[in-house]
Each structure stands twice: as C-alpha cells, then as structure tokens.
Structure 1
C-alpha cells in the first residue's frame, strides 16, 4: 500500500539537517575566523572595508565583523558574541571569535566520527567551568588603597598600553595610556560612567597633538548674526543650562486669532515681542554670563545677549549639555521662572578657541570634575576614527581594572596555562568527555599560535617552547613579539584585566555550544536577506 505524501512546508522551502548541517555551520564560522585571525595581536594586519562611499580601516574585531554584513544564520552568532564582548568589556573582540572558531573546529572531528553533539556540549561546559575557576585563582589582584597611589596608577597605565599594543596608535601607546588613565580617574569612582568621557575628532595636525580637557568641550554650534560681538572668554562665569526655545515666535502659528478691529493687530504683535523679552530679561536678571540651550536661540536673543556682553549657544547636543551639567554642577531648566544660584553651573574658565579649522567651546576648571573631553587629532578621517576606536577599547580596559581589580598576563600566556591545566584535568576524567575536554584545551593554543604567525615567527617552535616553559611552572610565559621567542609577559608588563579573558572564554564556549546544538535549518522562500540556494555559506 502506497503511503500518501504529506506536504508540511510551503513549496520552495529549503531544509537541511543532520551531520551535514552541523559541518556546514562550522565551516561558515570558520570562514569568519579566517577573515579576522590576521588582525590579532601587536603585529596584526588591518582590514579595509568599503561600504557604499564609506571606507573603514580597522583591526578591531567588533568593527570589522559588524561591517561584513554576514547573512549566514550560524555565522551571525559570532558577530553577536563579538558585539557583546565589545559592549561588556570593550576589548578582546577578535579573541572571542577566534576561540569560538577553535572550539568548533575541535568539535568537527568528533561530529564526523558520529559523536552525539550533546556529549560534546556537555564536555565543553564542564571544561569551561574548570577554566573559569582556575582563571580566578591565577588572576593577580591589584593593590587596594583608599587613595590612587603611584604604583596603582602605573598598573592602570600598563593595562591601558597593553590594549593599545595591537592598534594603529601602538607607537604612541605611552602618550595615550596616560591620557586614558587621567580621563577615567576623573569620573565618579562609584559609577565610572564612560558616557561622561567625550571624544571629539578634529582633522589636521599630528596624532600627538591630541589632548585632554578636564571639563567639557564641544564644537561651536550654529549661531545667528550678533554672535561675533559676544565675548569669547570668561573667568569664573555663571552658567545657565536650558531646554527652552529663545526665538521670536508668531503666536498665530500656535493658535487661531480673530480680530474685529484692525487697530488691535498691533497689540498682538506687541504681545509676541513682550513674551520673548520677558524670557530674556529673566535670564539676564539671574546673573548668568553663559547661556546654553538644547533648543534654538534666535537672532533677536543672540543680539540681546551680545549687547550685554553675555555668551549664548543654542542647539547644543543633548549629550554635551548633560556633560556640562555634570561638570559644572548646573541643572538643565525647562522654565525660566526660578533661575537661582543653586541651579546654575560654575567653572573657572570658559573660552572659545580654534582647533584645526573648527571653533570649540571649552569649560575647564569645573568644580565637580566628573567629566572630561578627549580632543583627537590626525591627518585623515579614517585614521582619527580608528584612533577613537582604539582609545575607547583602552578606556574600557581601565574601567574594568578599577571595577574588578584583577589582572592576568597577556601574549597568550594565560591561554597556554589554562590549556595545560585542562589537559591535566582531562587525564582524571573517566568517561568519554575526557577526549572532548582535551580537544577543548588544545583549542586554547590557537591564540598564542596566531600571535606568533601574525608576527612572522615559526609558530610550531614558539608553541613547543611555551609548552615546555609552562610544564616547568612558568605560568606567565607568552609570545615575545619584540625578540621572536618567549618571555615572562607579566614581567614585561603585558597585562590584561582578568574579566576580559573570563568573558571571552564564557562567550566563546556558549556560542560554540549553541551552534553545535542546531541540527536543522529551515529557510522560508520569502525570507529576506538570506542567500539563494546554492550560494556559499558566507555570502555578501
């Protein structure tokens, strides 16, 4: 008897499942790793990504992977963990992708031999727990003191410089390392809100012309006639921050006005002028010398303030206005009826200066000092943009150092030590996961191997030497980029926050487990953005 055919899915739906699907997903992730792996480390290469008319040059893993426009559903998981690593700790975005790819590649042979994916996942999760436990034990706590002494500051600067080792501004890492630590230490110690660190890019000049403003600086806003007559420098000014529009508005645009006597029209016009003048007089009576507003300040108000030797700026970006409030102790007002000393801000110096071809308003000597601004210079837009990304990573690293107070050695040292520990642990495991844990441990060697390859060294010799050093108790030995060999990277001050490593290991393991748990992919024929049938796993 012939069984009737049951049509469950719409015609044109593409389904693939089983071992072949798992291998296909692993290969798609390997294609992403292949793109990113040459960017790892101090000798990593940059990628030039051309999207429409925008050109980006970067070796930041999160930036590259977001610009790749990956459409393969499994490979997008790597893009997600790279972004999460960037959001959470700010650095290690390439490392997390390479680790995930190594874990998947290690699992590939087991899948081909018919091992159930759940057995691999169970082994990986057990190994991850052991690795994170040992990482916490290996981490070296930073010295805890009430005041930020010189030794602690040196540690923070070295962590900041390590984050810049693999960046475009590596040769200026000492210059920027000091600047980054200064910036983070100006923040509130409890919150460490990095949104209060403003970064402004100004084309022109050398990268070493960059500087730190202990306060707020923002680009001169759009201004009306009369602005040129306003003073551009104040000592100890009183600052009013507003969310109020100071423009002469025609009231007929807000309401319908009917008059029976044409002579009364002048009274309506006079009322409109009285409204704006009342607002301006309230501001002047408050004693304010600098008026900043998120909303427009029109030509009438600009000239009004200029005649009284006051400075004003309208259409100030909200983020900059909030940073001025945090620095000066002022409060943003939506009404002008209660302007007093308590809601006004103060600083020791305000001035408008020329930086490159732009004019910038600067507030320095602020009493609260909870915010700073980094002015980044450079010859090309792409170079400045990459400098900004590099400085952001370094800022995040210093922030995590202050929050978690534990560091480990970089240069592949911690990965080699965890690999050794896990291999020893696997010898005591009696079930079939022993081989899987051993393969997981082997995958950690991807990081030092790639560091050596990117520097042009013989990675086999370097790995053999590192294995010998770690077997003899040299737990902090990693790749010596400068002298083509191995060295104690802790003594060389190549330091990284332990939280960066723990987050990357946990995220990479979880991503590998998610991909290994998928045994079927169903593509709806109407789905947008997916490659057509027959298109290679990595598309567009």
Structure 2
C-alpha cells in the first residue's frame, strides 16, 4: 500500500510568508524610503517638513524624531528605523536625523552585497567590527573640555552647534545662553534631572521676549469665587504641597441611604461639612501661606483660605508640582491629619503676575536655585512648539557635555575622520571583510555629503577637499557653511558631545544589522472573530 503523507496546516489560511534575498532587499528599500524623507532636513540649511495628521493638525519641524513620530509608518522593517530614532532622542536628545540617514546609508551599501549573494552574516560581522573600531577611534580623538569654565563659555559653543540646524538658528546666541544658564542653575554634583527645567508656551510677543525664570512658574489654575480676595504675593512663603481633594462632591457610588427623620439627613450633611472644615483647619494650623494640590480645591475651601490670607491653587499638573517640591523642599502629603510645619517648603518669593494674555504663578528660588522655567513667546503655536523641540535638543546635548566633558568637531568632520581611519584599517584585512569595512567607511560620508546638498554646495568638490585634508592629517576638517568651503571645525567651535556621535553610530549600525538579519516576513491575515 502507498501511504500518503498527511497535509499539516500550521499557519492560518491567507497568511502571507515571503523570504529570501528578495525579502531582504524589500526591507532595505522600505528603510531607504524613510531615509529619503529626512535627508533634506539635515544641517543648518536643511528644510522643514510639514506633517498633517488625521485630525488636520499641521506640524512644521525639521527634528527627525518628531517627524518620524508623526508619520504613520506601516512597513514593519521601516518601523525599526523609527524606533531607533526614538531611542536616540530619549538617550541623548539630538542626532536623530543623522542616525536615521546613516542607518539608511549602511543598508544602501549592504544592498549591493546582498544582490551579489554575499552571506548576510558576513556583512553583519564586518559592520560590527567596523563599529568597534569607529567607537574606539572617536574616543581616542575626542577632546576634553572644562564645561564650567568661563561661566559656561564652552557649553555655549555646544548649544549653538545643536541649534544651528533648528528654527532658532538666527537667535542661537540668545537661546544658547538661556539653555546654559538653565542647566548651570541646577545641582550639577549629582545626575542632572532635566525634568527640573520647565517649559511654558505663551502665544504673543516676539521670540526675544522669551525669558528664563530662576524658579518654578506655571499658568494660573482653574479657580472659584473668592480667589480674587486671596493675596497674590509673599516673601519667604510657607508652601504646603498636597494630593488631597478639598471639595464637597456628590456621591459617585450607587449607594442607598434610608432615613426616617429629617434630622438624620441633616446629620449626614453636617458630617460632610465637618470633615472638610477639619481638613481646612489642619492646613491652616500648619502655618502655611500657599496651598497647592494636585486635586481640585472647591469654592468653600477657596473662600476659607481667602478669609485667612492664604493663597491656594488646585489641579496643579504633576510636572509643575514635582518642580515646586524639588525647589522648595516641601513634601507631598496625601492627608492633612499629619501635616506639620516640617512638611512645608519655602522659597525666596511667591507672586502672581501677567504673562501675555495669561496669569502665571511664580515661585522664585533666590540664590540657591534648584529648578527653572523657560517661558517661550512667539507669534503662533506651531512656531513656539518647534522652538520648544529645538531647546529640548540643546538642553539634552549640553547635559551630556557636562556629564561627559568630551567633544568632537561637527559639520561632518568626525564622520570623515572615522571614514579615513576605517579605510586605512580595511587595507590590512584580507578577504571580503575588507570590502565590507570599506563600505561602512563610504556610508559615513553621507553626512557631509548631505550637509553640502542641503546647503546648495557642490558636494563632489567639498568631499574631495575633505578627503584630501583628512589624508594630510587634518582630522577636524569639516564643512564650513559661511565660506562654502572646508575649515577646521574644532577651531571654529562647531562642537558636539562625543556621546552623541558614539550613540548615533551604535544605534545606526544596530538598526542596519537587525534589518539585514531578517530574511522572512510572515503577515497574519486579520479575521473578524477567533480562529476555529
């Protein structure tokens, strides 16, 4: 008898499975499409991208992480590139466009090897070996700086370089000083917490009307009747920070209370009043002048505090409360029964004043500043939002420069130096690994090349000049946007933290290797109900 092998069904009917060289090339092409979107945004003369979401909200930005976050990327391989840019943004705050463009270029160089049937694992091995040498080399040539010397003069250079490609490039000197002063006002002896730098956006006025508040500031919260009777200014106030609701509210639970006498109902009402009055008395007895709560403060409590010359604000945002607590030394209390004077914080001055069309509460710290707030002004919400993103990148870059204390030259200088070093190494390696490491070196040239193209320079001439300079030992030769030529960018103070470059190289290489290692994609068919 002829026995037939039974058919075994493993995947759901309609499941799409593609594999092999074609699938790898398809994944590479998808990532190159994402790279093409960000290419024009790179550098000081890069253009912006207008992204409109499903609700019709328009966002204008040249920040790589912001653009990729707003794009609805559906290709699974291309989404890996998006994740890498998010990682770069959260880790170091800048270099997201460079990371994405470099990852795409590494895949583009690998594409020719894949088409020539070179095993993918050979390519991955060569890329990882090149990465190790690149990181080792950039750490050997990076220059140490004293970030706190001359009132942060070195940090101003780093901040200006980070802003050179942003919308605030024309006002980089103004905002660089603001960013550096903000970070220098924090405690630099421990890990720098960027959450202590608040950013508030007020539409109206010019960009030069933006200010740095040495303390915590937030928009006046929702207030009830009696608020205007409260004092709006204190010197050395005693501040209570609460997570307590001070409001009479109807029962939310489906409870049923049966009463036979009117006096019973009155006793329930009196009990509610007694509870909230007891809470208010405990707060007043602590000796505080200012009461802040993350939960609502109702009209009864507002009037009660006003009668006793106490300022209150309810529904304070978590981030604002966090900064107030860190700046004033208060402790957040979830009950009033244990509130004492030792739980209160203090600052040099509290006041409420007008900023644009809004009222703002200011907690000024005095000489020992532990938090600060950037109040950004501008003509439109989209413009101010882009300024905020630009300052976030600059803050993160300066933070890394303070922590690491090592910088390299920007403008494509570091990439060209690494590229030349890898070419020299590749000549000493036999076999196909030589070609793969040389391809990694070629991919690094995409950064200065794209900088030139976005600025309208002749990229071929500039790249040839850069290769010649670096072959003669000028490791800091990079693109000079003022003279449309090449120059020593380290002497020109075009500086970037070493950590930004190292993280960008590692993220881009890892993304390329992950995508190259995928040669099969299984797409499950969507069904209306559970499988049978």
TM, length-normalised to structure 1 = 0.93
Question: Which residue matches 1:116?
Answer: 119
Residues 388 and 59 of structure 1: is their aligned pair in 2 closer, same or farther, counting only changes over 3 Å? same
Q: Deviations over 1:197-252 (max 9, x none)?
A: 11111111111111111111011111101111111111111111111111234689
How far did residue 366 of structure 1 move? 5.0
Q: Which residue of structure 1 lines up, in the alignment, with residue 18 of structure 2?
A: 16
Is this contact kept in 2: 1:328–1:367, CA < 8 A?
Answer: no
The residue aligned with 1:25 is 27
Unmatched runs of 5 consecutive residues or more in structure 1: 529-540
Partner of 1:210: 210
2:65 and 2:340 mapped to 1: Cα distance?
Answer: 47
Q: Hey, what's the Cα distance between the residues in 1 that align with 2:204 and 2:231? A: 27
Q: 1:69 aligned to 2:78?
A: no
Residue 527 of structure 1 deviates from its aligned partner by: 8.0
Contact conserved, 1:347 with 1:367, CA < 8 A, in 2? no
Alignment match, 1:538: none
Whole-angstrom CA distance in 2 between matches of 1:184 and 1:42: 24
**Partner deviation per Cα, 1:19-41 (whole Å, 9 max, x = no partner):** 11111111111111111001000
Counterpart in the other structure of 1:405: 405
Q: How does 1:430-469 map to 2 (within 5 A)?
A: 430-469=430-469
Instruction: Describe the superposition over 1:298-353 as per-residue Cα deviations: whole angstroms up to 9, x where unpaired.
Output: 11111111122211111111221121111011111122223333211111211111
The answer to whether the 8 Å contact 2:185/2:369 transfers is yes
Once the two structures are TM-superposed, the CA of residue 258 in structure 1 deviates from its matched residue by: 4.6
- Contact kept, 8 Å, 1:163 with 1:394, in 2: the verdict is yes
Aligned residues: 524
Per-residue deviation, residues 423-450 of structure 1 (Å, max 9, x unmatched): 0000000122001101110111000000
Change (3 A) 1:4 1:300: closer
1:15 Cα deviation after fit: 2.1
Is structure 2 residue 82 aligned with structure 1 residue 83? no
Residue 183 of structure 1 is matched in structure 2 by: 182
Find out whether 1:158 has 2:149 as its counterpart: no
Match in the other structure for 2:337: 337
RMSD: 1.9
User: Which whole-Å deviations, capped at 9, do the CAs of 1:432-472 have from their partners, x for residues lacking one?
Assistant: 20011011101110000000010000000000000000011
Aligned to 1:532: none
Distance (whole Å) between structure 2 residues aligned to residue 417 and residue 33 of structure 1 = 23
| Correspondences of 1:304-453 after superposition (within 5 Å) | 304-365=304-365, 369-453=369-453
Aligned to 1:103: 106
| Residues 415 and 444, structure 2, Cα contact 8 Å, conserved in 1 | yes
More displaced, 304-313 or 36-45? 304-313
Deviation of 1:12 (Å): 2.1
Q: Secondary structure at the match of 2:281?
A: helix
Q: In 2, Cα distance between the equivalents of 1:143 and 1:178?
A: 17
In structure 2, the residue corresponding to 1:223 is in which secondary structure?
Answer: coil
Residues 33 and 97, structure 1, Cα contact 8 Å, conserved in 2? yes
Give the corresponding residue for 1:198: 198
Q: Determine if contact 2:327/2:365 at 8 Å carries over to the other structure.
A: no
TM-score (norm 2): 0.95
Aligned to 1:520: 520
